[in-house]
C-alpha cells in the first residue's frame, strides 16, 4: 500500500529545482539555519548560540580593517626546503599541493591597514595551509623590525 494515491489521471510533476550550494549556513553546534549572507554579516558567529565558525585570514582582514581596505605585506613569499625533508611525501610537493588547494602561498598572511582610523599591521595564521604549519616564511613575516619598518612606511604614505 502506498502513501500517495493518484486520483486524477494526467497530472505530472515538475523536476525538483536544485538549491545553489552555499546559500544557507547551518550552525555545527545548535543546527540553527540562516542565509549565508546573514551569517557573514554577523562575523561568522551564530546568532542563536554564539558559536564562532573557523574563518580564514581573508575573512579576518575583511572584518577587522576599515572598509575592507588593506595592503598585504610580502604576499608572494613561499617556503623553501633547505633540509630536503621527506615523510610520506616530499615537503616541496606538500607545499605545492597546499598552495593549489588553499590559494595561499604560505600559512601566514600579514596586512597593513587602518582600524577606526589608526594604522595597524596584522599577522594572521591560516589553518587551510598545511594546518597552519610553521615554516621559514612564518619566521620571516613575524620578524618584528621588518613589520615595524613596513608599518612606518605605510603610515607615512
Residue 40: HSE in the Cβ half-sphere, 13 Å Cα cutoff:
10
Cα separation, 145 vs 157, whole angstroms:
18
Strands 118-125 and 24-26: unpaired
Measured from the Cβ of residue 32, the count of other Cβ atoms closer than 10 Å reads 14
* pTM over the 0.85 mark: no
Domains of the chain: 22-53 (no CATH), 55-156 (3.90.226.10)
C-alpha distance across the termini of the chain, in Å: 78
Cα separation, 147 vs 145, whole angstroms:
5
Q: Note the pLDDT of residue 92.
A: 86
Q: Note the pLDDT of residue 1.
A: 47
Question: Per-residue confidence of the chain (157 residues) as pLDDT tens digits?
Answer: 455 555 666 666 666 677 778 899 999 999 999 999 999 999 999 999 999 999 989 999 999 999 999 999 888 888 777 788 888 888 888 889 989 998 998 888 989 999 999 988 888 888 888 877 777 787 777 775 555 555 555 554 4
For the four alpha carbons of 89, 90, 93 and 98, in that order, the dihedral sign comes to: positive
Of the candidates 115, 20, 108, 3, the one whose C-alpha atom is nearest the C-alpha of residue 69 is 115
Q: Left (φ > 0), alpha (ψ -120 to 50) or beta: where does 51 sit? A: beta
Q: Note the pLDDT of residue 7.
A: 60
Cα separation, 141 vs 121, whole angstroms:
11
Q: Note the pLDDT of residue 53.
A: 95
Amino acid at each position: 500500500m502506498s502513501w500517495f494515491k493518484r486520483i486524477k489521471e494526467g497530472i505530472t510533476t515538475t523536476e525538483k529545482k536544485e538549491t545553489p550550494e552555499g546559500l544557507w549556513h547551518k550552525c555545527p553546534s545548535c543546527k540553527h539555519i540562516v542565509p549565508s549572507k546573514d551569517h557573514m554579516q554577523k562575523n561568522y558567529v551564530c546568532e542563536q548560540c554564539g558559536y564562532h565558525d573557523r574563518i580564514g585570514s581573508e575573512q579576518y582582514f575583511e572584518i577587522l580593517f576599515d572598509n575592507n581596505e588593506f595592503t598585504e605585506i610580502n604576499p608572494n613569499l613561499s617556503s623553501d626546503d633547505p633540509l630536503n625533508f621527506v615523510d610520506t611525501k616530499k615537503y616541496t610537493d606538500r607545499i605545492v599541493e597546499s598552495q593549489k588547494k588553499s590559494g595561499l602561498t604560505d600559512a601566514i598572511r600579514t596586512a597593513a591597514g587602518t582600524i577606526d582610523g589608526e594604522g595597524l599591521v596584522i599577522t594572521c595564521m591560516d589553518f587551510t595551509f598545511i594546518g597552519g604549519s610553521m615554516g621559514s616564511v612564518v619566521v620571516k613575516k613575524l620578524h618584528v623590525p621588518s613589520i615595524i619598518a613596513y608599518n612606518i612606511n605605510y603610515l607615512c604614505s
